[in-house]
Amino acid sequence: MSAQTDVANGALAYLLAGPAGFGLVGFALDRWWGTVVALPVGVVLGMVASMYVIWLRYGRS
């Protein structure tokens, strides 16, 4: 594999893991609190956090 493929795979992993992880926490909070708000908020926060981590890791030179 080339270095570009490794960077792309790493960025894709961040983009999938962030919303999934934060969404899972949001889902658990929704079940615990009896609401329907924490899951979408968790997914959005996970995506924002993922993009920030990608920018920190790959975007700054």
Q: How confident is the model at residue 21 (pLDDT cuts 50, 70, 90)?
A: very high
Mean of per-residue pLDDT scores for the chain: 93
Q: What is the pTM of this model?
A: 0.87
Percent share of the chain, pLDDT over 90: 82
- Judged by phi (left if over 0) then psi (alpha if -120 to 50, else beta), residue 60 lies in beta
Taking CA atoms, 58 is separated from 7, 17, 43, 45, 49, in Å, by 8, 17, 22, 20, 14
- Report the pLDDT averaged over residues 33-54: 97
pLDDT at position 61 is 58
Residue 40 has pLDDT above 90, yes or no: yes
- The domain ranges of the chain are 3-59
Residue 52 has pLDDT above 90, yes or no: yes
